[in-house]
Amino acid sequence: MAPKTPSSLPLYEIKYRKNYISRVIELFILFLLFSLLAYRFLTLKFHGLQWLLALICESWFTFIWILTVSTKWNQVEPTTYPLRLLERTSKFPAVDIFVTTADPVLEPPLITINTVLSLLSVEYPANKLACYVSDDGASIVTYYSLVEASKFAKLWVPFCKKYNIALRAPFRYFSGNSSPPQDSSQEFQQDWTRMKDEYKQLCKKIEDASTQEPETCDFAVFSNIQQKNHPTIIKVILENKEGVADGLPHLVYISREKRPKHPHQFKAGAMNVLTRVSGVMTNAPFMLNVDCDMYANNPQVVLHAMCYFLGAKDEIDCGFVQFPQFFYDGLKEDPYGNQLKVLHEYFGRGVSGIQGPFYQGSGCFHRRKVIYGSSPYEKITAGELKDEYIQKTYGMSEKLSTSIAKTLLEGSNIIEQFNSNSPSSSIEIAHQVGSCGFEFGTAWGQKLGWLYGSVAEDILTGLFIQSRGWKSAYCLPDPPAFLGCAPAAGPASMIQQKRWATGLFEVLLNSKSPIIGTLFGKLQLRQCMAYLQIQLWGLRSIFEVCYAILPAYCLITNSHFLPQANEPSIVIPALVFIIYNLYGLSEYIRANEPIIAWMNNQRIWRVNAMSAWLFGILSATTKLLGFSETAFEITKKDQNDTNSDIGRFTFDDSPIFVPGTAILLLNLSALFIGVLDFKKGNNIEWGLGEVICIMWIVFVFWAFLKSFFAKGKYGIPTSSILKAGALALLLVHLFKFKQ
């Protein structure tokens, strides 16, 4: 048999894990849950309200477990071969890169320019790349930082490619290294020292600009403007006019027009402006979008994505390529539960074995035609793309209409689909398509582009793409393609969780929900179940809170919601508790995570469920009822934290901490009341099971308990404790009244 040639070898492979033992354990847990529900139902008439509430909550938990088991059933092991791609061809399609930032305070420009520098220096022909930075903060400091970074890039990019530097974000490359490697050449050591000095100067310029705005004639457009009231600002910072493959990519700054009475649609609106502006400037067939803090950690990231796009036998299998979001400098113990490693390891690989991963809002490569609303196997001819149809659907711009037609036409060559003209020649048209009124009367945000209607625009957009029949690809190169900074401390992490819960619930109530996509679209049933697993986070909070209150209710009212210790049926909930937790622990061990990380995640996910997710569903509900509008809360980005107490949970005066504090105080009060009743020799109905549940809740809220005796940001504010105490006291009296 003749050996395979480079042209016949696959560019990627997807293998399925043989997770038979995990499946058996998951099904056994499901069997136990059904047994518990059957026991509850058969004995319901012999018990009171607490038994009914337990039945309802456990029915919900069983439903969620069914969704989880279905999602994790077929876990994939994807592999890409960029070297085979390089051996196969020297002609690559163009890629437009989108970097989004919205607030120069919460998202410091130094983080943004490091992300941009890492992207400008990836291993890909520079004449096939264009980087667009969207600044929704209209910050002169951000623009100035990009201008200065472009000067540094002329030194940094050649340095990285000359010495094949693996880590191309300067702040990460130079962190912890005071001098170059001693075993390197003299030339490298000199270049290394020069690069570090240049980067220090760049950092100083940006820091100085943050305290005192720079004054240059090029910045005149930023004078006398407001963050939410200004015209479109577009600046071409770098331009590869000669089309040199080993030069620097285009770099374009964009701050879209904003007016007070015009809805700007948060990040989705910014992404649609980027899509249109890039469409008239470069019109690459593929687009990569990253958040400002997610730098390219693997210089071959574009080649890895192209292995899917160019290696797929059928383009339906690859509507977009999603790289999982990993984070740098995360503590091994994961005290805030925001590293999400185990979630990616099992849930992420599982959903990728169905119809493909969810679009996660960053680190994702898109087909431009898919973003323009194209469906699989849709054959569009020139006769169908009449000017009237395109202008009504996509907007009144002749050049944009031409670029869209070129993208959508059947048989269009993706290698040749690239506007070779310089971006600066399209500035005037770019201002037009970037204006806030351009979308009026079009399908932008409704049937094409990034969709409006939720702060989780990524999930909504990806869901709509998969509902049209597209599949997505999961790419896991080594080292990871992108690394970002996870929110540190309690408030930032909770705000992020609240925003996710709000947005996900909004998607569930949207006309493009996964249920609608399955019934009337091409979304697979198990993919729908995977979407429901995360979109029900908000609703889960109600059942989590109810179940956390049940043991306290039983001790206060001298009742029980679990079988007595001398009843054989106590084995069922005991086995559920023990096997579920041991199985969860085994997942962390198999993922090379420490036991303490599992314990921290057990705590923080319950805290999120009973605090952040609860506020998330309240926010989404008030919006649905018309009482308020959803606000997009930006998570603060920090490069590092030198605090010796890093990893310690912090608090502020946000009401988001009140429910958790109230639940803790309620259970502590119930335990105190129960002990008093026991000492008095009263007839006790509650048993060991209820006491263990209360101790588990105290374990979950251990950080809250410690905060009662701490000061500053490590202590819960007195006002929050008083509010939580009043709520807990009210519940105690209500339960006593019921008794």
Residue 690 contacts residue 560 (beta carbons within 8 Å): yes
Task: Look at phi and psi of residue 703 and say left if phi exceeds 0, alpha if psi is from -120 to 50, else beta.
Answer: alpha
- The CB-side HSE value for 725 (13 A sphere, CA atoms) comes to 8
Spatial CA neighbour of 99 closest among 235, 301, 288: 288
Give the three-class secondary structure for 175. coil
Tokens of 386: 């009449």
- Give the residue ranges of DSSP H helices in 226-346: 266-281, 301-311, 341-342
CA dist list (Å): 680 to 554, 666, 684: 17, 21, 10
The radius of gyration of the chain from alpha carbons, rounded to an integer in Å, stands at 28
DSSP bridge pairs for 233:
255
Cβ density class 236-257: b for 16+ within 10 Å, e for less: bbbbbeeeeeebbbbbbbbbbb
Nearest to 503 by CA among 386, 412, 613: 613
C-alpha to C-alpha distances, 244 to 279, 424, 610, nearest whole angstrom: 21, 17, 55
Of 266, 111, 141, 149, the closest CA to residue 637 belongs to 111
Backbone angles phi, psi at 544, to 5 degrees: -65, -45
Residues 6+ away with beta carbon under 8 Å from 490 = 336, 649, 650, 651, 652, 657, 703
CA-to-CA distance for 388 and 401, rounded, in angstroms?
10
The answer on whether 183 is annotated among ligand-binding residues is no
107 is in an annotated binding site: yes
Please report, as a single letter, which amino acid is at residue 90.
S
Q: Measure the CA–CA gap between 514 and 714, rounded to whole angstroms.
A: 41
Q: What is the DSSP letter of 639?
A: S
Give the dihedral of Cα atoms 334, 62, 353, 498; nearest 10 deg. Answer: -40
Distance, CA of 564 to CA of 527 (rounded, Å): 40
For residue 191, say whether it is annotated as part of any ligand binding site. Answer: no
Q: How, if at all, do strands 95-101 and 129-135 pair? A: parallel
Contact 259, 229 (CB under 8 A): yes
User: Which residues participate in catalysis according to the annotation?
Assistant: 136, 458
Q: Of 425, 482, 481, 420, give the one whose Cα is nearest residue 128.
A: 420
Is 334 marked within a binding site? no
Tell me the Ramachandran region of residue 226: left when phi exceeds 0, alpha when psi lies from -120 to 50, beta otherwise: beta
DSSP label at 657? Answer: G
What the block records as the tokens of 662 is 């109230």
How long is the chain? Answer: 739
Neighbour count for residue 361 (Cβ, 10 Å): 24
251 vs 523: CA distance, rounded Å: 37
Judge residue 565's burial from the number of C-beta atoms within 10 Å of its C-beta, 0-12 exposed, 13-18 middle, 19 or more buried: exposed
Structure-derived torsion over alpha carbons of residues 505, 511, 514, 516, reported in degrees to the nearest 10: 140
How many CB atoms are located within 10 Å of the residue 685 CB? Answer: 14
User: Residue 156 has which token pair?
Assistant: 């940094």
Question: Residue positions in the annotated binding site for Mn(2+)?
Answer: 267, 291
Question: Residue positions in the annotated binding site for UDP-alpha-D-glucose?
Answer: 107, 136
Question: Residue positions in the annotated binding site?
Answer: 107, 136, 267, 291
